[in-house]
């Protein structure tokens, strides 16, 4: 796909429920703008993506206006925006995804050693430190708090299926990422905030609160490729704990061959260590998982345990439908 087509496609995707009208307008503008597309074409292909351009532009100071006023701003600020795009990557860390993972995690008997692959800043490594309010289809609400009392992070989530009644017993946690972010570093936190779509102000509040929880007890985050460093991290987990390897919105960045290699690594870790594999990815990302879904479902994300779909989840953690 050429750059104009990528932006036109992105604009269409923003028309879906929960997208960003501002980004839709900007993406339409870029798609119809050969001068801006030519600037983007000067970047390596993975760096041309809309989420990276728009987050970089906002980090540099783009106004949250229509494309007509953003375009001249962008042309003037292009050297700074381009530098930011070259030095940053899309690493959106969405703690709300914990609400969609919790029912499945809580069903695993502890103690659990939780390892997140592609952890970004590690905000999804703390599902047991956040509070939840689940709303069933009939409107019934159930609240779940950490053992130590209510958390300042309160995650609302619509649920279809059994509501969790306990927290997972997580006794050890660690993550890995090509480029771990540190919530205690103001520059990293500013980047995480810029990655949240502009209208999603409630997500920013949740992000900041989760960052405070994580900063109070920072996780171990290892720098490296998931195909290389995962076995060593698993080997460090306490021997008496069930290892749960989790990833969400990560494998989309891998080639088909690398996804197959990762699935083989998980099969080895399952045999050798009894590791549980929880994948929460867009429904096209793991075709073998999608093929196991009952007919007629059109999910956005699929949560799978050891390759078997167990839930359909909203990409930003707003809803979960247990299968």
Ligand X SMILES: C[S@@+](CC[C@H](N)C(=O)[O-])C[C@H]1O[C@@H](n2cnc3c(N)ncnc32)[C@H](O)[C@@H]1O
Binding site for ligand X (CB under 6 A): 89-94, 97, 118-120, 124, 176-179, 225-226, 248-250, 253
Burial 274-309 (b: 16+ CB within 10 A, else e): ebbbbbbbbbebbeebbeebeeeeebebbbbbeeeb
Nearer to ligand X, 159 or 285 (CB): 285
Nearer to ligand X, 32 or 215 (CB): 215
Nearer to ligand X, 36 or 246 (CB): 246
Nearer to ligand X, 33 or 177 (CB): 177
- The CB-of-200 to ligand X minimum distance in angstroms stands at 14
- The CB-of-148 to ligand X minimum distance in angstroms stands at 23
CB 212 within 8 A of CB 74: no
- The CB-of-94 to ligand X minimum distance in angstroms stands at 4
- Please identify the residue of the shown chain whose CB is closest to the bound ligand X: 118
- The CB-of-10 to ligand X minimum distance in angstroms stands at 15
- Dihedrals φ, ψ of 102, to 5°? -55, -45
- The CB-of-268 to ligand X minimum distance in angstroms stands at 17
Distance CA(176)–CA(157), nearest Å, equals 27
Nearer to ligand X, 309 or 315 (CB): 315
- Dihedrals φ, ψ of 313, to 5°? -130, 150
CB 44 within 8 A of CB 16: no
Nearer to ligand X, 37 or 276 (CB): 276
- The CB-of-293 to ligand X minimum distance in angstroms stands at 21
| DSSP-assigned states of every residue in 235-263 | HHS-TTSEEEEEEES-GGGS-HHHHHHHH
Nearer to ligand X, 189 or 226 (CB): 226
Residue 15: Cβ-neighbour burial (10 angstroms; 0-12, 13-18, 19+)? exposed
| DSSP-assigned states of every residue in 115-178 | EEES-TTSGGG-GGGSEEEEE-TTS-EEEE--TTS--S-EEEEEEESPPP-S---EEEEEEEES
Distance CA(188)–CA(183), nearest Å, equals 6
Nearer to ligand X, 31 or 249 (CB): 249
Distance set, CA 145 to CA 61, 125, 133, 190 (Å): 38, 16, 9, 28
- The CB-of-51 to ligand X minimum distance in angstroms stands at 9
- The CB-of-118 to ligand X minimum distance in angstroms stands at 3
């Amino acid at each position: 796909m050429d750059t104009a087509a990528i932006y036109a496609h992105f604009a269409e995707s923003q028309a879906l429920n929960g997208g960003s009208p501002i980004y839709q307008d900007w993406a339409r503008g870029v798609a119809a703008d050969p001068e801006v597309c030519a600037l983007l074409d000067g970047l390596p292909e993975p760096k041309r993506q809309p989420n990276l351009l728009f987050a970089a532009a906002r980090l540099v100071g783009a106004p949250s206006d229509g494309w007509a006023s953003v375009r001249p701003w962008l042309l003037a600020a292009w050297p700074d925006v381009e530098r930011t795009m070259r030095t940053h990557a899309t690493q959106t860390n969405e703690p709300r995804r914990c609400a969609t993972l919790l029912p499945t995690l809580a069903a695993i008997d502890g103690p659990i050693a939780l390892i997140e692959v592609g952890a970004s800043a590690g905000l999804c490594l703390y599902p047991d430190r956040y509070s939840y309010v689940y709303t069933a289809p009939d409107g019934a609400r159930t609240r779940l708090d950490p053992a130590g009392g209510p958390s300042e992070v309160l995650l609302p989530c619509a649920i279809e299926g059994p509501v969790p009644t306990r927290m997972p017993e997580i006794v050890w946690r660690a993550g890995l990422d090509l480029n771990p972010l540190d919530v205690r570093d103001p520059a990293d936190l500013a980047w995480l905030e810029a990655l949240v779509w502009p209208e999603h102000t409630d997500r920013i509040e949740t992000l900041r609160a989760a960052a405070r929880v994580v900063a109070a007890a920072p996780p171990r985050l290892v720098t490296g490729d998931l195909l290389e460093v995962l076995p060593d991290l698993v080997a460090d987990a306490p021997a008496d704990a069930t290892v749960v390897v989790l990833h969400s919105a990560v494998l989309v960045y891998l080639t088909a061959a690398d996804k197959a290699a990762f699935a083989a690594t998980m099969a080895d870790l399952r045999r050798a260590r009894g590791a549980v594999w929880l994948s929460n990815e867009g429904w096209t990302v793991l075709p073998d998982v999608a093929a196991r879904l009952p007919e007629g479902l059109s999910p956005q994300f699929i949560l799978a345990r050891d390759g078997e779909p167990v839930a359909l989840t909203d990409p930003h953690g707003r809803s979960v439908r247990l299968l």
